[in-house]
Structure 1
């Protein structure tokens, strides 16, 4: 348990930031799930639209420090590759 006032304040700040980060991570995962579902259905148009909506969310999460920049780029790249493979 925190003893000093600065440590108590730090604990409060961490709790607030944790809630914000959880919400952002959840939002990103929701967009990712929508893309995955569109890919699973086999509808290339819907999957491309879902990726177009998800890409800014994924990159925003990287910018805010929720995921690493390279992780976000890798996720977008792999999803785009899978959508491209739907036609063939």
Structure 2
């Protein structure tokens, strides 16, 4: 084995880099899955991790990516309000 490593240093370096890259990809995937599960636990929502999309959150309208959750919540809020507009109470109420 040592003779092969000495005879082909470029291939050995590429193999080591490939192994490191594979390890980093697996570690990143595990961290992303864990953070998605933690988000579901913290918010008491149903979550799933999709490889191409990322963390998905179950909403009344279906599965929504976590990154787009704020826009989804705004559209649901405006759909349920009688005037169709958000009620932020801007400029009203006590200081």
Structure with greater strand percent: 2
Give the alignment's TM-score, normalised by structure 1.
0.44
Structure with greater helix percent: 1
Larger radius of gyration: 2
Q: Which has the higher contact order (CA 8 A, sep 6+)?
A: 1
